[in-house]
Chain A
Amino acid sequence: MTTPVLSVRDLVVEIPTREGILRPVDNVSYDIAAGEILGVVGESGAGKSMTGNAVIGLLDRPARITSGEIHVNGARVDDLPISQLRKKRGKEIGMVFQDPLTSLNPLLPVGEQLAETISEHLDVSKPEARARAIRGLEEVGIPAAAERIDSFPHEFSGGMRQRVVIALALCAEPSLVIADEPTTALDVSVQAQITALLKRLCRERGMAVMLVTHDMGVIAETADRVAVMYAGRLAELGPVRDVVTEPHHPYTDGLMGSTPIASKGQARLRQIPGNMPRLTAMPNGCAFHPRCTYVQDKCRVDPTPRLGGADPRAACWYPLRGADVEQAS
């Protein structure tokens, strides 16, 4: 087996506060192989973005990694000093941010921002960096890239700006890209274009992509595998088709029930009762048990089982099988 591009092992991120230590990311493990898109899905505050930020080392203080390991291309990165990690940012790990309106420096032409990043990581001359910047813009589908290169960010539309952001994240040819809600701030009509673009670039370059989103629809269309997060923990991790058609974790089932998917022909969308627990008030036992329709006594007492314990895919004491789901719906 080849080494995965990204390998996260038992990652724990903690935030010390006055009310005690919070764990926005709790024992998360997953791999992403080259050319694979892993969708990370969950509600706000489930720890999706926090995981991505931990990988690239951009956790906002006082959040910090307290245990676990992160490997990129086989090399451990979570314990690197910032000066070493900086060299990997952009070159090995690219990141696409959520809001293209705020993630570009308004005072610098986009070409300069691109060329600057290219020159930082690759040993190329100035004209070569500029030529590469133009090619980068062409690759993400900016028309007349050679003329647009000296434009300022405000001269692009929202969708075009997100393309520029992607070009920037990819210009030093990283093998891993973390896309943190890349389509959330965009018009629906543009969302599909951007996800298609990410998918194409992933295939063409054989990059590993971590696609963080709360939109199950985007995941279903784009990702190869999906990791469902709930309250900082992985609830379910598996191939997208299996997870979508036959969820094993009751939370995933709830998510699916509340997402409109054309092929399913649902009469009504279900909703999951209640809210995700706050990190300051985590319930005993399984974190999902207060909202779970299938809750049993064991769930209220015993902590969430590890992924692959009771079920190969879901972190649940009583994973759903096809029959149960039919009954419930």
Chain B
Amino acid sequence: MLAYIIRRVFQSLVVLLVVGLVAFSMFRFVGDPIDNMLGQERTQADVERLRTQLGLDQPFPVQYYKFLEQAVQGNFGISYRQSRPVSEIIAERAPATLELAAVSGLFALGLGIGLGVFTAIRRDGIASNLIMSLSLVGVSLPTFLIGILLIYVFSVELDWLPSFGRGETVAVGGWTTGFLTPSGLKALILPAITLGLYQMTLIMRLVRSEMLEVLRQDYIRFARARGLREKSVNFRHALKNTLVPVITVTGLQLGAIIAFAIITETVFQWPGVGLLFINAIQFVDIPVMAAYLMLISVMFVGINLIVDLLYFAIDPRLRIDGRH
């Protein structure tokens, strides 16, 4: 198993190197950074001086190596637009996105698994059919439309929940959290639902189809034939056997929630890294874009690694060298 982990970590590193190359390439190929940094009033001497100063006269591999060296230390340079270190800007914005992602991830996972199990067990019930039909809506409506609809209903018409922003936040250490104030919690609800709805329906449909498959298995019949309670048959025996594929998809979706919070953050003007990224694109703020790209890929690679390790935790058949 240790060998497996080492192999997976090694693979992850290769992936990160490739992503790093793409991120780094942006600096060179999306316009000349010198052009971006020096205004119209510049001399050839200024250009040369800055080029040497920034190390841009060195060969490509050397520059790439330096970029990686800095990136590993969390240093992604200085934002063109805000003239502050990118790492600082991101650290400031990350709590908003992570809190949003955590809440919508929990929402998607909890409700998705719950409804999936429910619709599988009560396969022919009216409620199940209704939920399944509604879930089609959840899958097919684009995120921004759901966000706008929710804002229209709950903010404009009913005036229950705020339509934008994070509400009041409290700083705990370097982390600003919206969990501790009523307005912060209220502000979380709509964006979290918007962001998690698609993943929720996806997880629900997956759990349902896996459950239906597992419920047909002999060991479920045998569990019933031994007189075990339906609750035990459904959750202890059936649900656990559906978890491997569910975890795979959930892991990827969790990455997607963080990475593609962009749309939701834009709709709700949520001050997270997604919104930061959108603004960075507008102003061709390449250091920010590169850092965002690296951050997201680290997250995906990390989640995938955790997912692979969870397989071992769930399925004893994979732990061949663990016992005996």
Contact = CB atoms under 8 A, between A and B. Distances in A.
Contact of B229 (A86, A88, A91, A94): A86
B221 A58 contact: yes
Contacts of A104: 219, 222
B219 A105 contact: yes
B317 A152 contact: yes
Interface stretch (A40-48, A116-124, A302-310): A116-124
B237 A86 contact: no
A168 interface: yes
A117 B227 CA distance: 8
A116 B228 CA distance: 8
A79 to B, nearest CB: 18
A90 B218 contact: no
A172 interface: yes
Interface in B7-48: none
A105 B237 CA distance: 7
Interface in B125-180: none
Nearest to A171: B226
A104 B220 CA distance: 8
DSSP class of B's interface residues: helix, strand, loop or mixed? Answer: helix
A85 to B, nearest CB: 9
Given A102-B218, A154-B316, A169 B226 contact: yes
A259 to B, nearest CB: 28
A86 B227 contact: yes
Given A106-B241, A155-B324, A89 B218 contact: no
A107 B228 contact: no
Interface string A82-108: 000011111100110101001111111
Interface in A281-321: none
Contacts of A152: 316-317
A107 B241 contact: yes
B227 A91 contact: yes
Interface residues of B, number: 24
Given A87-B227, A117-B228, A172-B227, A106 B222 contact: no
B6 to A, nearest CB: 25
B317 A106 contact: yes
A56 interface: yes
A99 B222 CA distance: 11
A170 to B, nearest CB: 10
Interface residues of A, number: 32
A69 B71 CA distance: 77
Contacts of B224: 58, 86, 89
B222 A165 contact: yes
A16 to B, nearest CB: 16
Contact of A168 (B222, B230, B317, B324): B222
A99 B218 contact: yes
A76 B243 CA distance: 40
Contacts of A105: 219, 223, 237, 241
Contacts of A154: 316-317
Contacts of B316: 106-107, 109, 152, 154
Contact of A58 (B225, B229, B232): B225
Contacts of A102: 217-219
17 contacts: A58-B224, A58-B225, A86-B230, A89-B226, A94-B225, A95-B226, A102-B217, A104-B222, A107-B316, A116-B232, A116-B236, A120-B227, A120-B228, A120-B232, A121-B227, A154-B316, A154-B317
Interface of A: 56, 58, 86-91, 94-95, 97, 99, 102-109, 116-117, 120-121, 151-152, 154-155, 165, 168-169, 172
List of 8 A-B pairs having minimum Cβ-Cβ separation, nearest first: A90-B227, A89-B227, A90-B226, A102-B218, A95-B225, A152-B316, A103-B218, A103-B222
